[in-house]
Structure 1
């Protein structure tokens, strides 16, 4: 049998074809080795394209790359997490991103989302998908080990902080993120959890989040955090935005980037990626869902209902 490597794996996964269990083991080990070298706040230089939630919508991820201008050989990418769950192709989505990380390690940064978690993926689809596609949970376990090493944030030219969710009352300085121990399952509370779960909202300062984890934080909190840390902007994902992106406060210092069009194959939203050039002025490219998933939806074995939580 001919031994295949990362280049062959990438060509396979581009066609939405799963790798073998042994190939997934090798791939996950390679990615872990790369991620271990990254800091909790990974520095990234402009120009860069920032992408929000994908949630297993593999064919829309391919459309994202077409919209943004191609794979990372020519473009720097930051992905803000939530690669898996809800969509029908979480396995292929995360596998593609891992293959790209191996091929272009310095050009793609993968931030951890709240769905890159053992507990969450057992409820919202990824665990069951791996079980269905491989007949065991072994590949799910390999992927969960990778989740534990994903970075918690990225920072663009020292001025734009990229996280999945938002801020934490326990974190005032960026250095407090840098010293967190990230090689673990996402905790239920605390600064690590808040970075992945919090949301900006029209509140005075901090308010308990209806999600059951993280916090709601207001414009004053964001303004003070950015000032203390010399930031221009916080870019995050985590919330469905029908228009693809949204600035949350009058100061335009927090923005949500959403990259899963027609979320859950029924929400009807468009998606976006955020382009940041050397002038640090974000621009947004909007894209819509591709029809592939609608065609495949009828043949996919995903009839079971997921627990409600927030769309």
Structure 2
């Protein structure tokens, strides 16, 4: 039986000081990471698969180990606890600072449990992190030991799968599933495990919207599905929702609005992989003062306008009370691009024996990669 215990606030503040007040930030000792992970797991045991959150809240998409850009998000959107944050997953892999990024988010979640909320993405997985950088980064930063990787990936099994905001907006990392018509089906999932190859849990973290189709279609990623307008209209209608918010896809302008705001993609890793040159965003939701029953499909694939002006004239394609705060990569992101070197002296030119070293993902890789793990 797991025995619950808490970490003193002073200890959490000390961890934040190590990560935030030093340049470069200090790596937390293994025994500290172990205690942080164990404490957060005991707290997450009582959290449902779909969290019930309220506005105002800021929604953050993929971060992928871009630690300095995460700090930029807090500069732009406000630091916890002054701002409520919902993070949509994909905290690690690809970037140079996955260890620092996930350490900071875990500490912030423990320090401000009612202000910071984390859900699971497709990269919160043992299989993916072994191949896309997090595992190798930990080996390098912790002198060849994989203990920290084991503790953090065990914690990933406890992360919720989604959230509702004001009961009207559904947020998940990826998208919808042909096996799921009701939110209650997600609530009934046993989430405390590695992400499976298929099924509702896999589709939630792997699927993508597609404006060219109406129904479901197999995804070219090799996992999850593409879903169209009919799918999201029915899902929202059946669950009394007005919108889905998700991450998972690189957006050159930092965000994408589908079907006049019925589905939004928020992307929060600027200059992704230190070479894509894209912008990033956070989605600020101030309120949701509109009637979900009036958000119906019309012949031009848009929303009918209820008295509460559900259709937004905002050029961002969002609903009333929502705003994409767009930002560029931090100066430190540019420095990483030039030097090809991460924090604490880990250089991407070093080859670590017996592993797929994470630096290779930033050296002459194509911009678009197909996932091959579920073929």
Q: TM-score, normalised by structure 2?
A: 0.79
Does residue 131 (structure 1) correspond to residue 186 (structure 2)? The answer is no
Bigger relative contact order (CA 8 A; separation at least 6): 1
Residue in structure 2 matching 1:100, options 103, 108, 123: 108
Does residue 217 (structure 1) correspond to residue 272 (structure 2)? The answer is no
The runs of at least 4 aligned residues of structure 1 exceeding 4 Å deviation read: none
Structure 1 residues 231-250: aligned runs within 5 Å: 231-249=241-259
Q: Secondary structure at the match of 2:104?
A: helix
Taking only aligned residues, the RMSD between alpha carbons, in angstroms, comes to 1.5
- Which ranges of structure 1 fall in alignment gaps of 5 or more residues? none
Q: Secondary structure at the match of 2:148?
A: helix
Residue in structure 1 matching 2:334, options 279, 285, 294: 294
Does residue 13 (structure 1) correspond to residue 28 (structure 2)? The answer is no
Does residue 191 (structure 1) correspond to residue 200 (structure 2)? The answer is yes
Does residue 73 (structure 1) correspond to residue 119 (structure 2)? The answer is no
**Is the Cα contact below 8 Å between 2:166 and 2:288 reproduced in 1?**
no
Does residue 305 (structure 1) correspond to residue 313 (structure 2)? The answer is no
CA distance in 2, matches of 1:253, 1:173: 17
* Equivalent position of 2:236 in the other structure: 226
Q: How far 1:310 moved relative to its partner?
A: 4.5
* Equivalent position of 2:184 in the other structure: 175
CA distance in 1, matches of 2:132, 2:264: 26
Q: TM-score, normalised by structure 1?
A: 0.95
Q: How far 1:72 moved relative to its partner?
A: 1.8
What does the per-residue CA deviation read over 1:198-235, in whole Å, with 9 as the maximum and x for residues that have no partner?
00002120100000100000011011101110111100
**Is the Cα contact below 8 Å between 1:45 and 1:156 reproduced in 2?**
yes
* Equivalent position of 1:157 in the other structure: 166
Q: How far 1:148 moved relative to its partner?
A: 0.3
What does the per-residue CA deviation read over 1:125-147, in whole Å, with 9 as the maximum and x for residues that have no partner?
00000010002100000000110
CA distance in 1, matches of 2:100, 2:90: 14
Residue in structure 2 matching 1:147, options 156, 172, 181: 156
CA distance in 2, matches of 1:183, 1:66: 34
CA distance in 2, matches of 1:133, 1:267: 26
Higher CA-based Rg: 2
CA distance in 1, matches of 2:168, 2:16: 33
CA distance in 2, matches of 1:152, 1:110: 9
What does the per-residue CA deviation read over 1:33-68, in whole Å, with 9 as the maximum and x for residues that have no partner?
221121100011110000000000000000011111
* Equivalent position of 2:4 in the other structure: none
What does the per-residue CA deviation read over 1:236-284, in whole Å, with 9 as the maximum and x for residues that have no partner?
00000011111122x4210000000111111111110001112353111
